[in-house]
Structure 1
Amino acid sequence: MTGLGANGREAGGDDGGREGRRGTGLRTVGFLLAGVLVLGVAGAGWVYRHLDDNIKSVDINSALGDNRPPRGTTTPSPSASPLHTGSLNILVLGSDSRSGEANQELGGGSSTGARSDTAMVVHLDAGRTRATVVSIPRDTLVTRPSCPLPSGGSTQVTYNSMFNSAYAVGGPVCAVRTVESITNIRMDHYVEIDFSGFAKLVDALGGVTVTTDEDIDDEDSHLTLEAGTHHLDGTQALALARTRHGIGDGSDLGRIGLQQTLVKALLDRISATSVLTDPARLYRVADAVTGSLTTDTGLDSLTELTSLARSLTGLSSDAVRTVTMPVTPAPSDRNRVVVREQEAAELWAALR
């Protein structure tokens, strides 16, 4: 499988050359671990109100109730700051919704029937100086639990369902419930980003630099790159995050590797730019992030996002570990994968 530069990944297993639909372009938790860091200084007047109003939210806690894994322990910072520095688990999703003109131009396809084609569990260690990002392959066959529906009632428990179907049938609430059932870890927060938001963020940062170890030529993502180092604009970075058929064996695991590399590249870009001292760029970044963001109600304001951002100021890309949930080809379908239970249990236990 191809690699990107020095930012390797730990894969959960070979997917046996699975086929699949084009992936979504929202392949990064960099919005959470990097982009949100810029929000802390955009806090006055109409700018604040505009950015605050940008954010959409879903009340996941009320929908799921108390039948969930226990909360982790969050302790106040020993300094005078009111920041909380306990461990935190955040589910970051990229749906393949093409709603809106900008998303349709970048992703094409129908504006209905969105799926969570990218899912990352972000674990922030106590102290917020280290993070682990665990990618969950979208084609993983899982038991999808019963989920409450916004219209009332609930979905049925289903077996051997593709992981990304949870979002399709029950939205963010069902995605969170399914991840919690797989991991037995409570998701403290939820973040979702869309096609155009990712491209706008990269452009607002002035692009992102990656190194490819082999040529890429993917007709589905419309990306052609020779092996080497490239500085990509937002549309190109989005295409890279969606690429799977133009690398390695064409598997979704190869695409995940590209996504994980982009996470670290975005973090490095934030560190290398003058975003915090350039008001115009700061606003563009903050507008790109908030304008394409859906969160749980615990993160749906600039005040809450800023508090999280301030707790992450000691986090560098070198302290971010990227892994993939251990999987193996499904016996019933080589184009799907199933969880390697023992190894996955050890991984999730280490994050509790």
Structure 2
Amino acid sequence: MHDDRPTSSRTSTTRTASERIQLRRALTLTLMTLVVPGSAQVAAGNKRLGRVALRVWIACLVAGAVLLLLALFARTSLMGLMTDARLLTLLRFLLLAGAVFWAVLIVDAWRLGQPLRLARRHRPWVAGLNGALCLVTAGALVFAAHLVSVSTGVIDTVFAATTTSKPADGRYNVLLMGSDSGADRTGMRPDSLNVASIDAKTGRTVIIGLPRNLEDVPFPSDSFMKKEFPKTFDCEGCYLNAVNTWAEDHAQELGVKKVGERTPGIQATIDAVEEITGLRLNYYALVNMAGFAKLVDAVGGVTVDVQERTPMFGHDDAWKQQYVEAGRRKLNGEQALWYARSRVLNNDFSRMGRQKCVMTAMLRELSPRKVLMNVEKIADSSKTLLDTDIPARDLNVFMELALKAKSQPVSSVSLVPPVIYTGNPDYDKVRTLISRAIATSEGHGGRPATDGILAASLTTLTPQAPAASSTATSAGTGTGAPAKDPTRANQTDDVDATC
């Protein structure tokens, strides 16, 4: 059929079709490089470069498939790889090299698309798309390399210990201490002492709260403190939380410099806690309270069911009159710290319960997404927050246990009046309570001991001292019904139900 259109019209139509084809070709080459790096070069450019890129891409896909299989069937092994500082360093350099290489391939795909042959109106759009893809792909890899670098820095700084410890009787026992060290304080006296006893297979956890003012603390026969205190830690003002300071102050005269990777004070505290609880401790973790507040802020706060109005001031600054109000609240770092530490209008035993609630809330809320979105803030706070002898090579074990623990009930044992009188503690009873709580946790599918079970377990144990009226009030409701109150004194309970 004869085309009756003017020659200029036919030429314009042909040019438009050619422009569309050229635009389609340029976009296709760019998108090919985005989806399968090197494919554009194999199709229309430097085939040797393209083959190299394709081999690298296939290797990355294979590595990703292996990691996926490890995540599904060998999560502990995957976490071991993720916490190996040498592998992380290598991965960081590979990511940086990959960022540069991929950006070069995308720019080369733009060149292969012959940008000067594009219509003028198409050139800026194609160039802009190409530049945006370079920024997105290279930027994502550079950011990933930054995350790896941050993780490596935390591992090298915080988890620098090299000695590993196997579980005792199928459990990892970790001493958790909270300290408010500062220029206005003499020595380091832990204000918070808890033992987390974790089933090495299931992650079921029992948290044992130790009053800081326990008196007549015993030491095992092989402790260097036994030379000075053959019976108990019975000097003036010598409570459990003073063991660290005393050992550090007298380390030179005792001829003790360091016990493995632990300071004399930390080792002495561990010795005492082992003798008190009857548990062999694998590791310790010392948390600086100011660092803890930064960590809470780093993850965007922590949601806690505040059981009672809690003062945010000390005895010397009561004029502030600031409170954490009762109810379900999202606490920032300062509020969470005060809620866990306040003793105004309550006591040490109330504080112990609130500390468990805050720790459990943090365990529940620290999701992978939160960690990823706040990794740099968490890393910065962690370097000042935590001192521990958990080695990097055991991090995979504890990461796996933490994931398991999130879906398990957490039990708690509080060694407080009227069951345990801190001024004259019966350590045989202490060890009995702890062993029974652990046995109950393991023997009932992780279901924690209830007050009824505890009461039955205490029928053969003679109380040491009558509870003071204030303690008795905080220990229960007076009706025999369990109260959801973290200040209750004589309980082995489900922390989730209590908090």
Fold match, TM over 0.5? yes
Alpha-carbon separation, structure 2, partners of 1:40 and 1:327? 46
Could you tell me which residue of structure 2 aligns to residue 140 of structure 1?
214
Question: 1:263 is matched with which residue: 348, 359, 362?
Answer: 359
TM-score, normalised to structure 1, is: 0.66
Q: What residue number does 2:450 align with?
A: none
The residue type paired with residue 322 of structure 1 is S
- The structure whose Rg is larger is 2
Pairing 1:169–2:246 present: yes
Q: What's the secondary structure of 1:307's corresponding residue?
A: helix
Is 2:208–2:434's contact at 8 Å kept on the other side of the alignment?
A: no
Aligned residue number for residue 28 of structure 1: none
**Which residue of structure 2 lines up, in the alignment, with residue 207 of structure 1?**
301
Q: Identify the residue that residue 133 of structure 2 maps to in structure 1.
A: none
| 1:17 alignment partner in structure 2 | none
Taking the TM superposition and a 5 Å limit, the aligned residue runs for 1:179-328 are 179-220=273-314, 223-246=322-345, 250-271=346-367, 274-276=369-371, 278=372, 280-296=373-389, 299-301=390-392, 303-316=393-406, 318-328=408-418
Higher relative contact order (CA 8 A, sep 6+): 1
Residue 92 of structure 1 corresponds to 176
1:45-101 Cα offsets, whole Å, 9 max, x none, are 333431123217679999xxxxxxx9724xxxxxxxxxxxx31111111123126xx
Paired AA for residue 117 in structure 1: D
Higher helix share: 2
Distance 1:315 1:237 in 2: 22
3-state SS of 1:51 partner:
helix
| C-alpha displacement of 1:194 | 0.5
Determine the structure 1 residue equivalent to 2:131: none
- Output the amino acid matched with 1:124: I
**CA positional deviation for 1:230:** 1.9
Structure 1 residue identity aligned to 2:168: G
Q: Which moved more, 1:208-217 or 1:167-176?
A: 208-217
Q: Residues 61 and 283 of structure 1: is their aligned pair in 2 closer, same or farther, counting only changes over 3 Å?
A: closer
Q: What per-residue deviation string (whole Å, max 9, x for no partner) do you get for residues 205-247 of structure 1? A: 110112223322353186512222221111111111111213x
Unmatched segments (≥5 aa) in structure 1: 1-37, 63-69, 74-85, 100-108
Cα pair 2:173 2:196 within 8 Å, conserved? yes
Structure 2 CA distance, aligned partners of 1:199 and 1:317?
A: 25
Whether the 8 Å contact between 1:58 and 1:172 is mirrored in structure 2 is no
Task: State which drifts further: 225-234 or 342-351.
Answer: 342-351
5+ residue gaps, structure 2? 1-78, 90-148, 248-264, 440-499
Return closer, same or farther for 1:182/1:50 CA change in 2, 3 Å cut-off.
same
Hey, what's the Cα distance between the residues in 1 that align with 2:210 and 2:300? 29
User: 1 CA distance for matches of 2:339 and 2:407?
Assistant: 19
Q: CA deviation at 1:190?
A: 1.1
Secondary structure of 1:338's aligned partner: coil
Tell me which moved more, 160-169 or 199-208: 160-169
Q: Confirm or deny: 8 A CA contact 2:151 2:379 kept in the other structure.
A: no
Q: C-alpha offsets along residues 8-55 of structure 1, whole Å, 9 cap, x if unaligned?
A: xxxxxxxxxxxxxxxxxxxxxxxxxxxxxx998576333343112321
Distance 1:232 1:59, change over 3 A: same
TM-score norm. by structure 2 comes to: 0.48
- Give aligned-pair identity as a percent: 26
Distance of 2:412 and 2:175 partners within structure 1: 14
> Residues of 2 paired with 1:229 and 1:312: CA distance?
24
CA distance in 2, matches of 1:236, 1:40: 37
Q: 1:190 to 1:259 in 2, by over 3 A?
A: same
Which structure carries more strand by proportion? Answer: 1
